[in-house]
Amino acid sequence: MQFNTKIMALALLFAPLALAAPTDNTPPVALAESAVDLSVAESCAKAGAYRCKCDSIVRHCWIDVCNASRKWVLSAHCRERINPNHQPTCKGGPNDTAFCV
């Protein structure tokens, strides 16, 4: 009986370790890992404005927003284009807005 109790105690002790073990899941490739250089932030004129951007080398399109420091920062990723020369997957709208299509 004592042996079973010890085994159960060990199982309960190591259960959280097994549940917290790292998995094989990897996050999707971020836009910063593509050919797009996000290291130099461009300045913008109006905080709260949005713009549509697409990279001409790869198939990524995204939406930037002008922050309070007047720098463009990433706001959203749009779906990938079929090829780099295909139609953009985001569009600029009225009043400094942009949206994914």
Stronger pLDDT, 81 or 12, i.e. the higher one: 81
Q: Give the distance, in angstroms, between the CA of residue 80 and the centroid of all CA atoms in the same chain.
A: 13
Quick check: is 18 in a domain?
Answer: no
**What is the average pLDDT across 78-94?**
87
Stronger pLDDT, 37 or 6, i.e. the higher one: 6
Quick check: is 41 in a domain?
Answer: yes
CB 75 within 8 A of CB 65: yes
Quick check: is 9 in a domain?
Answer: no
For 29-58, what is each residue's pLDDT tens digit?
554 444 445 556 688 989 999 999 998 888
User: What pLDDT is attached to residue 35?
Assistant: 45
Split into its structural domains, the chain has a count of: 1
pTM for the model: 0.57
Distances (CA, A) of 23 to 19, 20, 82: 10, 9, 32
Contacts of 64 (CB under 8 A, 6+ apart): 50, 51, 53, 72, 73, 74, 75, 98
Range of the domain at 76: 29-100
